[in-house]
Amino acid sequence: MDTILVIDDDPGFRKLLETILSGEGYTVETGASVAEAIRAGNRRQFDLVISDLKLPDGDGLQILRWWKEHMPETPVIMVTGFGTVASAVEAMKLGAVDYLGKPLSSPDELRLLVEKALEQRRIAEERRLLREEEAGRFSCGSIVAGDPKMVRVLELVRKVAPTNATVLITGESGTGKELIARCIHANSPRAQKIFVPVNCAALSPTLIESELFGHERGAFTGAAGQHAGRFERAHGGTLFLDEIGELDANLQAKLLRVLQEKTFERVGGARQISVDVRVIAATNRNLKQAVAEGKFREDLYYRLNLFPIEVPPLRERPADIPRLARFFLARAAQNLGKPNLMLTPEAERVLAAYAWPGNVRELENTMERVAILCDEAIEPDDLPVTSSGPARPVLFKDIERQAIEDALRANDGNRTRTARQLGISLRTLQYRLKEYGITPAKE
Q: For the domain that residue 113 is a member of, what is the CATH number?
A: 3.40.50.2300
Which one-letter amino acid corresponds to residue 239? Answer: L
* Number of domains present in the structure of the chain: 4
Helix (H) or strand (E) holding 230: helix 230-233
Task: Tell me what pLDDT residue 223 has.
Answer: 62
Task: Tell me what pLDDT residue 1 has.
Answer: 43
Q: Are residues 228 and 296 in the same domain?
A: yes
Report DSSP state, residue 15. H
Q: Are residues 208 and 230 in the same domain?
A: yes
d(CA 432, CA 401): 8
Q: Considering just the CA atoms, what is the radius of gyration of the chain in Å?
A: 27
Q: Are residues 216 and 174 in the same domain?
A: yes
Q: Quote the pTM value.
A: 0.58
φ/ψ of 295, rounded to 5, equals -100, -10
Q: Are residues 205 and 267 in the same domain?
A: yes
d(CA 402, CA 382): 31
Pairing of strands 273-274, 263-264: antiparallel
Question: Helix axis angle, 85-94 relative to 60-70, nearest 10°?
Answer: 10
Q: Each residue of 73-121: pLDDT tens digit?
A: 889 998 887 655 666 677 788 888 888 888 888 888 898 889 888 888 8
Q: For the domain that residue 423 is a member of, what is the CATH number?
A: 1.10.10
Task: Tell me what pLDDT residue 399 has.
Answer: 57
Rounded to whole angstroms, what are the CA distances from 28 to 50, 132, 345, 373? 10, 32, 21, 37
Q: For the domain that residue 350 is a member of, what is the CATH number?
A: 1.10.8.60
List alpha helices for 75-147, DSSP H.
Answer: 85-94, 107-134
Task: Tell me what pLDDT residue 252 has.
Answer: 92
Domain with 30 in it: 3-132
φ/ψ of 308, rounded to 5, equals -80, 140
Q: Are residues 303 and 155 in the same domain?
A: yes
**Among 312, 339, 361, which residue terminates a domain?**
312
Indicate the average pLDDT of the chain.
Answer: 83
d(CA 317, CA 334): 26
Q: Each residue of 34-78: pLDDT tens digit?
A: 999 988 887 777 889 999 988 998 888 899 988 888 778 889 998
Bridge partners of residue 195, in order along the sequence: 238
Task: Tell me what pLDDT residue 345 has.
Answer: 82
Question: What 3 state SS string does 393-430 have?
Answer: CCCHHHHHHHHHHHHHHHCCCCHHHHHHHHCCCHHHHH
Q: Are residues 349 and 428 in the same domain?
A: no
Q: Which residues contact 64 (CB under 8 A, 6 or more apart)?
A: 51, 76, 78, 91, 94, 95, 96
In a domain, 262, yes or no: yes
Helix (H) or strand (E) holding 236: none
Q: Are residues 191 and 287 in the same domain?
A: yes
Q: Each residue of 343-386: pLDDT tens digit?
A: 888 888 889 889 899 999 999 999 999 999 888 889 888 998 86
Q: Each residue of 126-141: pLDDT tens digit?
A: 666 555 445 444 356 6
φ/ψ of 281, rounded to 5, equals -115, 155
In a domain, 28, yes or no: yes
Q: Are residues 118 and 256 in the same domain?
A: no
Which one-letter amino acid corresponds to residue 359? Answer: N
Q: Are residues 149 and 288 in the same domain?
A: yes
In a domain, 441, yes or no: no
- Up-side HSE of residue 302: CA atoms within 13 Å toward CB? 3
Report whether pLDDT(394) > 50. Answer: no
Beta strands in 8-92 (DSSP E): 27-31, 48-52, 54-55, 58-59, 76-80
Q: Which of 307, 310, 226, 314 is nearest to 266 (CA)?
A: 226
Instruction: Check residues 122 and 4 and name the one with the higher pLDDT.
Output: 4
Sign of CA dihedral 304, 306, 307, 310: positive
In a domain, 255, yes or no: yes
In a domain, 388, yes or no: no
Q: What percent of the chain has pLDDT over 90?
A: 33
Q: Are residues 160 and 126 in the same domain?
A: no
Sign of CA dihedral 150, 153, 159, 163: negative
Q: Are residues 294 and 364 in the same domain?
A: no
- The mean per-residue pLDDT over the stretch 319-330 comes to 88
Q: Are residues 294 and 162 in the same domain?
A: yes
Q: Which of 85, 32, 76 is nearest to 58 (CA)?
A: 32
Bridge partners of residue 135, in order along the sequence: none
Rounded to whole angstroms, what are the CA distances from 206 to 153, 215, 217, 257, 275? 35, 11, 15, 18, 22
Q: Each residue of 172-222: pLDDT tens digit?
A: 999 999 999 999 999 999 999 999 999 888 877 778 888 888 877 766 666
Sign of CA dihedral 367, 373, 376, 379: negative
Report whether pLDDT(266) > 50. Answer: yes
**Among 90, 112, 132, which residue terminates a domain?**
132
